[in-house]
Each structure stands twice: as structure tokens, then as C-alpha cells.
Amino acid sequence: MLVIWVTAILMVLVLSLSLTSRSQTLSTVAFRDQAGEKFLAEAGVQRAIMELQYMNKNGIENAIEDSAETPAWRADGTVYGDRLGDGHYRVSILGETGKLDINTVPEVFLYNLLMQLGVKDEDANAIADCIMDWKDPSGLTRPHGAGSDYYMSLPTPYKPKGANFEVLEELLLVKGITPELLFGTGQSKGLIDFLTVNSKSQAVNANYAPREVLLCIPGMSPEMADQIITYREVKKIAGPQDLQALLGAYYQPLSPYLTTVESNVFTIDSVGYENGEKEGYPIRATVMLDFTNNSYKYLYYKSPAYRD
């Protein structure tokens, strides 16, 4: 009996040690894979910065091909990729002037964007009002908005800011904004993909703006938005004359909200993948480039970033 008990105890110890060792091995492998994916995503960010500097140097920003007939990267959200060893990355660049600046655009732009993201009409009205109320220094409350009384009545009370947004994550403090609405889901994008605090303008850059942003402009039809996107895929929109040729009689009422002025601030979304197409490791970085000195600095960096 003693031998049986000793054998049983030894078997339990061996099994326990085996399970512990296996768990630690799997954790190490997972950490190694995630670290590898993170470095691949970092490589994508650096590649994007290099491409932006190359585009500026060679005067082919948003052009199609360089002299070697190599496709030039565009800053309109187009996804590019490359392999490094056994892994790869997918990366896109979007000029910040191609987004809606939450601190400057009219309320109707926010309403239109919310409607495109699937928010119901009455909710879109209320959320747009609440966003405007949050940054309104006067403290006045719009018909469907929320003021200090609402926020101070919450279980954890706080006051509306009464000043411009500094980062888009501040939207989570605004009545009606959920994480799903801000960051999106696996099936759809969120507000954070179309808004910025870096543009400082009511107008959006026609060379950069995603289709969803173009459709936020009052009077912009889906056909006109598609025409702009199709044109810039083969040739850069050089200025007002190109926009007028594209939009015809509709150019005049749309012109206050469209520009072709270049940007030096860009958001880079990069995802690194190890061992095939898995979930990957996402990084989002907003960089300001100094093309004169061939340098850059980060204005925003999220690692891992929120996934679409």
C-alpha cells in the first residue's frame, strides 16, 4: 500500500509539473508571437513614414506611378503590405486634412457622419447636439443636447469640458457615445476613423477624404463622391480648377468645404501578422512631418490600437 501511495503522489507531481511546464511554454510562445507581430507593425509604421518622405521629395503625393513605374503610395486610406521573413504587415496612410475636424466642422457634418455609421435619425440628432454642447464654453444646452445638469447627475459626476477636444477618446465622456460607436466593431468602422483634432479647418482635402467623409458635406451626392475618388486614383486633384471640372455646377456651393491644400500630418494604421493571416497586432500613429529637415514627430501613438 505504501508503494502504491508513493507512486500515486509521484504521478500527481509529475502531471502537475508537466501541466505547469506546458502552460509556461505556451505563454512564452504567445509572447514571442505577439512581440514579433508588434515589431512587424512598427516596421509598417516606419515604411509609411519613409513613403511619405519619398512622395514629398519626388513631388508625387497622391500620384499613381514614379519614373520606375512603381505604384506610389497614396494618403487616402489605401491599404498596402509587404513581407518580412515569415511575417508581413498591412498599412494605410490617411492625411488628417481628409478627416472632419471635430473642433471646427458644423454640426450637420457630425449628424451626417453618425447617420452613415448606422445611428438612427433621432439619436444622431441628439449625439451631434451633445458633442457640440460638450465643447461649448457658453454652457448653453441645445434642444437635444446635454449640459452640466446631466453630467453632474451621473453616479460618478463630472462637468462638460467647455473647450475643444484634445484627443478623440474624450468623446467617451459625451452622452450617447459608446465604445462601439467611437472605435467601431469587427464589421464596421467608428467615429475615430473619420474625425480628427489636427486639421483646424472646416474644409476636407479632396485627395485624402474617405468616401464617408465626402458624403458628410451637405449637397455631396454618392455619384460626385465616387467621381472624386475615381479621378484621384489616376491623377492628383491639383486645385480648384480640377474640382470645378469634376463637380460642374455643384462646385460653388460645395467649394467652402473642399480643399486641395497639402497636409504634413498623417495617421498611419499598421497591423503586423506572424504565421499567416491571424488577428494581428495593430498600431495607430499620427505623425507630423518636417519635410525640410526630413524629420518627424509623433502627435499620437496607440499600441495596441483599437481594432476596426
Domain membership flag for residue 151: yes
- The SS3 assignment for 74 reads coil
Domain for residue 207, yes or no? Answer: yes
| 173 lies in the same domain as 207 | no
**Coil, strand, or helix at residue 71?**
strand
**Is 14 within a domain?**
no
0.85 exceeded by the pTM? no
Whether 95 and 37 share a structural domain = yes
123 and 169, same structural domain? yes
Cα–Cα distance, 255 to 188 (Å, whole number):
29
Q: Is 19 a member of any domain?
A: no
- Among the three residues 162, 186, 210, which one is the final residue of a domain in this structure? 186
Beta bridge partners of 259: 205
245 and 293: one domain? no
Residues 105, 171 share a domain: yes
- In this structure, the answer to whether residues 176 and 204 fall within a common structural domain is no
The residue among 100, 104, 95 whose CA lies nearest residue 113 is 100
In a domain, 116, yes or no: yes
Q: Domain holding 181: CATH number? A: 1.10.40.60
Where are the extended beta strands (E) located within the chain?
76-84, 87-95, 100-101, 195-196, 204-205, 258-259, 265-273, 281-290, 295-302
In the chain, how many domains are there? 3
Grid cell for residue 193: 476613423
Kindly report, residue by residue over 71-116, the tens digit of the pLDDT: 678 899 999 999 888 899 999 999 999 999 999 999 999 999 999 9
* Proportion of the chain above pLDDT 70, given as a percent: 87
Q: Which domain holds residue 274?
A: 33-60+84-99+265-308
Q: Residue 75: inside a domain, yes or no?
A: no
Tell me, yes or no, whether 124 and 148 share the same domain.
yes
Same domain, 224 and 256: yes
- Note whether 91 and 115 are same-domain residues: no
Tell whether 280 and 270 lie within a shared domain. yes
The string of pLDDT tens digits covering residues 166-197 is 999 999 999 999 999 999 987 789 999 999 99
Please, what is the Cα angle at 226 between 121 and 168, to 5 degrees? Answer: 50
Whether a cis peptide bond, with omega within 30° of 0, leads into 282 is no
C-alpha cell at 88: 508581413
Compute the radius of gyration of the chain from its Cα atoms.
Answer: 25
Rounded to whole angstroms, the Cα distance separating 44 from 82 reads 8
Confirm whether 109 is domain-assigned: yes
Tell me if 247 is assigned to some domain: yes
pLDDT digits (tens, 9 = 90+) for 45-54: 999 999 998 8
| End position of a domain, from candidates 186, 219, 238 | 186
Q: What pairing do the DSSP bridges indicate for beta strands 87-95 and 76-84?
A: antiparallel
What's the CA gap between 116 and 100, in Å, rounded?
14
Decide which of 5 and 142 is more confident: 142
CA 137 to chain centroid:
28
Task: Indicate the residue among 161, 186, 211 that finishes a domain.
Answer: 186
Looking at the fold, whether 112 and 179 belong to one and the same domain comes out as: yes
**Rounded CA separation 170/234 (Å):** 38
**Residues 239 and 298 placed together within one structural domain of the fold:** no
Interatomic CA distance for residues 260 and 167, integer angstroms = 25
CA 284/CA 299 separation, integer angstroms: 11
